Amino acid sequence: MPHALTNSPPARAQGGRSRHSGSTILVMAGSALLCWSLVGLSPVMVGTEALAAADPPQPSTTDKVLRDTKEAVESTKQYTLQQKEAFQKTFQAELTEIQGKIAELQKKTGAASVEARSEMHKALQDLERKKNEARKQLDDVSQSTSAGWSKLKENLNRTLDDLKKSYQETVSKLP
């Protein structure tokens, strides 16, 4: 039996050369070809063709997380912008409505007595001041950042509530 097919190492001759004959080398080469054919590789595919046949590299988990994070941040920005715009439209409509109510009160002031007119005039000035303050804060909304938007929204809602309350108190004082 040739040495290539046994578990024992080949015998070495003097000078470090093995004593394998040409047939042993052929048996070894045949065994390699047999292994490649069983595995599905041909000796030709071992080089760059084997690399080309491999799947393209997948993005790393870090790249995917970064991409997903960027998409989430962009979505959040768009959502915040939409919320700000909707809030601005609603707030502007309420300010316009209150402005109309203040104009009606001013007309009624002219028909009131002198004493009531003085008191109404002060109340109307206070309403105008609060309305102008609310309008100024509304203008600040478009300049606000996402982080500052939440606090500004709370302040605007308080300002609008205060303006409505002042209006109701003024109306309640009418004769």
Whether the per-residue pLDDT at 87 is higher than 70: the answer is: yes
Q: How far apart are CA 86 and CA 107, in angstroms?
A: 32
Find the mean pLDDT for residues 9-15. 49
Rounded to the nearest integer, the mean pLDDT of the chain is 74
Q: How many CA atoms lie within 13 A of 4 on its CB side?
A: 15
Find the mean pLDDT for residues 83-101. 90
- Cβ atoms of 126 and 155 within 8 Å: the answer is no
Q: Which residues pair with 12 in a beta bridge?
A: 18
3-class state of residue 12 by DSSP: strand
DSSP 59: P
Of 37, 53, 69, which one is at a domain's C-terminal end? 53
Residue corresponding to tokens 């502007």: 92
Q: Which domain does 16 fall in, by range?
A: 3-53
pTM over 0.85: no
Q: How far apart are CA 124 and CA 128, in angstroms?
A: 6
Whether the per-residue pLDDT at 93 is higher than 90: the answer is: yes
Find the mean pLDDT for residues 103-124. 81
Residues 68, 101 within the same domain: yes
pLDDT per position as a tens digit, 32-79 = 555 545 555 544 444 555 545 555 566 688 888 889 899 988 888 888
> Which contacts of 17-22 are long-range, i.e. CB under 8 A and separated by 24 or more positions?
none
Output the pLDDT for position 21: 54
Residues 105, 22 within the same domain: no
Residues 45, 75 within the same domain: no
Find the mean pLDDT for residues 17-22. 51
Record the tokens describing residue 114, joined without a space: 């002198």
Residue corresponding to tokens 């071992």: 46
Going by pLDDT thresholds of 50, 70 and 90, the confidence category of residue 5 is very low
How many structural domains does the chain have? 2
Record the tokens describing residue 154, joined without a space: 């709370």
- Cβ atoms of 111 and 104 within 8 Å: the answer is no
